[in-house]
Amino acid sequence: MKISSPIAKAAFADMLPLFLPALPFALLFGVMVVESGVPQLLGWSSSVIMFGGSAQMTLITLVGEGAAVSATVTTTLIVTARHILYSVTLAPRFQAQPRWFRWLGPYVLIDQVFALTQVRDLSDDTDFRQYYLAAGFTFWAMWVLFTGLGIVLAPIIPASIGIEIAITLMFLGLLLMAIKRRSQVVTALLSAGTALWFAHLDNQVGLIIAVLVSLFVATIMEWREA
């Protein structure tokens, strides 16, 4: 893969803004490693070995608390279960790729990479492979760098670094990448408005209502455009 190719540059440009909301998670993970008592080098190496933010945080937390190996492994697998759906979705695209890519590609299959490959026009197999790897390893390099930085800077990183807003920004970024038509804009705005209107309800019921409303509206608008 040519790093300077237009498709690789596009992948880098697309992934960079999606990493910004994940930056607090990377720093927080470094703090978690230090506070857990796990050897720092070992904790940081999970960024290279596992490369999965939520899975790494779950693993480090349970290991630090002295949980049983079976419980740690089981819980970590459950946290990453969504990747099964990603794999099923991308399986047809991987079948046309070289064997080396079918082995390497799953290593960088994260939420952001999956989302970008779904909203980008990557009908050509070579373009798909170059974009996928460039996007995946762009995020990987920054994740490895900033989780290590989090360990080094753990003593001066504040206890609260905006994780709640970072979650919102991360998924908002993925949403904006997917919006291409007017009907999608209308659906997104209506869903956001519904969620805000019912935000006072307990147990996140407002979000459930917003999802149901957006699904209904999206179905109607897709039917009208067909």
Asked if 59 and 162 count as a contact pair (C-beta separation under 8 A), the reply is: no
Compute CA distances 167 → 69, 70, 111, 186, whole Å: 29, 29, 13, 23
pLDDT given for residue 37 in this prediction: 86
What confidence score (pLDDT) does residue 226 get? 59
pLDDT in tens, the chain (226 residues): 555 688 989 999 989 888 887 888 888 888 889 888 889 999 999 999 989 888 888 888 888 888 888 888 888 888 788 788 888 889 999 998 999 999 999 999 998 898 888 888 888 899 999 999 999 999 999 999 999 999 998 888 765 555 555 555 555 555 665 566 666 677 777 777 777 787 777 756 776 777 777 777 777 776 776 5
pLDDT at 142: 95
Residue given tokens 């109607």 in the structure block: 220
Q: What per-residue confidence (pLDDT) applies to 63? A: 86
Neighbouring residues of 3: CB distance < 8 A, sequence distance ≥ 6: 134
Specify the pLDDT at position 167.
54
- Report CA torsion sign: 57, 52, 79, 107: negative
Dihedral (CA of 157, 158, 163, 169) sign: negative
Residue with tokens 């917003």: 210
CB 162 within 8 A of CB 24: yes
What tokens appear for 120 in the block? 């980008």
Cα angle 64-68-70, degrees, rounded to a multiple of 5: 125
Q: Which residues contact 95 (CB under 8 A, 6 or more apart)?
A: none
Which of the 8 DSSP states describes residue 124? Answer: S
